[in-house]
Amino acid sequence: MDSTRALATEAVHAGRDDLARQGLHAPPIDLSTTYPSYDSRGEAARIDAFATTGAEPEGPPVYGRLGNPTVARFETALARLEGTESAVAFASGMAALSAVLLVRASMGLRHVVAVRPLYGCSDHLLTAGLLGSEVTWTDPAGIADALRPDTGLVMVESPANPTLAEVDLRAVAHACGSVPLLADNTFATPVLQRPASLGARLVLHSATKYLGGHGDVMAGVVGCDEEFAGRLRQVRFATGGILHPLAGYLLLRGLATLPVRVQAASANAAELARRLTADRRVTRVHYPRIGGAMIAFEVAGDPHEVIADVNLITPAVSLGSVDTLIQHPASISHRIVDAEDRRGSGVSDRLLRLSVGLEDVEDLWADLDRALGTGPRPAGGAGNCASSHNAPAAADDHPTPMALRRW
């Protein structure tokens, strides 16, 4: 790999560097579940090696549950974009998180320190102890004091789902000491931040979101060092949470346009956040300092009426698609979280989460403006809402996205 490549260049070429030499342009899709081999002794040796270290078997593939060439291309590309040694893909983001927890539990490290808010199902998985884990919830300042001898993981999400709260990843990683930090980077993507460069040992994505980018693939992936990747592959093999090759192909294709999509959607989001901040029908706007395409805002009226009245914008769960989605976290994505815990982490009953897409911003605003209904109209200038949090700067004031910088 050329270390001087910009992220936008890596997004297009990572995982594809060998294609031209093979006389190919588009990556092939390998749908095989099994692979012929006339060397059973060799197969046994490779399987023994995998059982020992979890390293990808050398030579031709063996069986779809051990690995797949198309999925491996996506894993290579994601690792390059995140700046990690390896990456391991799974059938969903929750399968990826479950595998991480199982790896640590297998080492007798079942305790997790976590910072709210997290994605609702991640919160539930930890709180309910479904995989035998025990969680201590704390704020970033309390991480060091919450660590125990059996702590196997510290987990944060920044910007967080759904409030877009941000944490200082470098400071958090320092507080973790020798305990691995898992940073959920789903909202930011490597276009806006690379947690591994800030000290996180594990970088989690719900690849269903921005990495795929078109609402047509479900997947999860963990960027990490090769030692941890080996353990994750062993868990994936044993539990069967594998990614289908067609999904791997779609994700690799999605990565090629990731920087362009994130930049364009972020520009739309910054403008919508500015207008929402100036609107008296909105009591609070959450927009991260890092930028991005996600907005959360609290309305003075009934949030369910806003959901019911959008037309161009799609009322649906998930995020990161080319089209704009809106949802009410307290009813859907975070419904599974205890109401007191939910509100305590800033997820109010009037909060709406907007995943901004690639439509024309004027069309999006016209739809939002109508859905917000009657009431006090926009005041004509930013900062006139009753309470704002992380109110956006003008578009020109945003820092240069990672996609425009060289590594």
Pick the catalytic residue from 80, 119, 249, 274. 119
Query: Nearest 5°: CA angle at 216, between 214 and 222?
Result: 85
Query: Would residue 35 show up in a list of annotated catalytic residues for this protein?
Result: no
Bond prior to 180 in cis (omega within 30° of 0)? no
Alpha-carbon gap, residue 153 to 388, rounded angstroms:
33
Query: Would residue 119 show up in a list of annotated catalytic residues for this protein?
Result: yes
Order of all β-strands in the sheet with 282-286: 282-286, 294-299, 351-355, 325-327, 314-315
Residues forming beta bridges with residue 205, ordered by sequence position? 221
Tokens at 13, concatenated: 């070429």
138-144: Cβ within 8 A, 24+ apart: 138/113, 138/114, 139/115, 140/115, 140/167, 140/168, 140/171, 140/172, 140/175, 143/113, 143/115, 143/172, 143/175, 143/176, 144/175, 144/176, 144/177
Pick the catalytic residue from 46, 104, 184, 236. 184
Tokens at 320, concatenated: 């990161």
Order of all β-strands in the sheet with 111-115: 86-90, 220-224, 202-206, 181-184, 151-157, 111-115, 134-138
Amino acid of residue 134: E
Pick the catalytic residue from 116, 209, 261, 274. 209
- Those residues whose C-beta lies under 8 Å from the C-beta of residue 72, and which sit 6 or more positions away, are 56, 248
Residue 34: strand, helix, or coil? strand
Pick the catalytic residue from 17, 63, 65, 309. 65
Are the C-beta atoms of residues 36 and 47 closer than 8 Å to each other? no
Query: Would residue 65 show up in a list of annotated catalytic residues for this protein?
Result: yes
- Those residues whose C-beta lies under 8 Å from the C-beta of residue 400, and which sit 6 or more positions away, are none
Are the C-beta atoms of residues 29 and 245 closer than 8 Å to each other? yes
Residue 295: strand, helix, or coil? strand
> From the centroid of its chain, how far is CA 331?
21
Catalytic residues: 65, 119, 184, 209
